[in-house]
Structure 1
Amino acid sequence: MTGDDRRVLRAGPGPLDVAGVLLTPGAGATREHRTLVALDEALTALGVAVRRVDLPRGARAAPARVREEADAFAADLGVPTERLVVGGRSFGGRMCSAAVADGLPVAGLLLLSYPLHPPGRPGTLRVEHLPRITVPVLAVSGATDPFGTPDELATHLATVAGPTTLVVVRGPHSPADPPVVAAVRAWLT
């Protein structure tokens, strides 16, 4: 698979009815991560409201924070959370996926560089909650990401109950921003 290939696991239902996108950073990063800022600028230019938030460390507290932030963002926009897309980079996307799997109602889920497993430990998977996700999912991953190969991601994302799209771009766990932004923009519109 080359860096420009796009693999669609299941086609989505068409354009999503989205009022806003909530973005979360990877572990050790903040809401100011370059990819989140680039997405914010691109989506805001399209007229989509964006909120970037930080998450607490630790997989126990972060999904609850995602829910709190989604509720607050939806209230500020005057819409239900079902009009939001939530997601983020690496740990942030994983925590958003956990919140959605645990019942956070949203329009869609965005997984950027999803950390399928720790580098070099493909047997330590972070996938048990994926079958409980019923909303449309976009996963964008680098072709050489040590946290999960494109084939590993395709296999495990196929367990998601909702429509799932996997876009593979050139690069590692932190691929260049332009192809990531293009994939997200295309999926939302």
Structure 2
Amino acid sequence: MMEFLSTHGNELMVKTWEHLYISVAAMVLGVIVAVPLGIMLSRVPKFADRFISFIGILQTIPSLAILAFFIPIMGVGKAPAIIALFVYSLLPILRNTYIGIRDVDKGVIEAGKGMGMSNWQTIIKMELPLSIPVIMAGIRLSTVYLIGWAALAAFIGGGGLGDFIFDGLNLYKPSLILAGTIPATILAVIADRSFAILERSLTSDGMKDSQEAA
């Protein structure tokens, strides 16, 4: 192990950073797109079910196929890898946002409107705080998945820990496979625990806000 670190230590740090960058970039894009879209869909439930089903169909497409699809459009490298992973990040965040907003007690919303709140104010001050636990659960699930899927970025020159894994497979070197697998697993565990703590923190704040608003 020490011999491997002395030889590949710097490369391991670079690949770990690349892996984290690809995963976080895709997740941030997913949040920026899926959360507002989920809020919008909660206003049109009949269309929402069909749209979410369509996004679910996209999830069934093999990830390598989506990566290959973006190569003619964006070439190779990190950009197509991020966009492909972004597509995979959408469903958990979108579905949880939609469900979280949809299931907010309508009586609370009516009380807010009775206090003179606009639709936008009820979303920001009441619906989002109350649905934060469900939304954060979707973001948490999506992030853990993305960290695992980010290894496939190596197929199109996106870098990351997948480089070690695929080099190890090609050269029949278990040490390289472990060098890619172990850090990716650690990153996923850290992300899962971090979002669990953040989720509990935001849930507490959200419940306090809802009680004050009521």
Report the TM-score when normalising by structure 2: 0.27
More strand by share: 1
TM-score by length of 1: 0.29
Question: Greater Rg, structure 1 or structure 2?
Answer: 2
Say which structure is richer in helix. 2
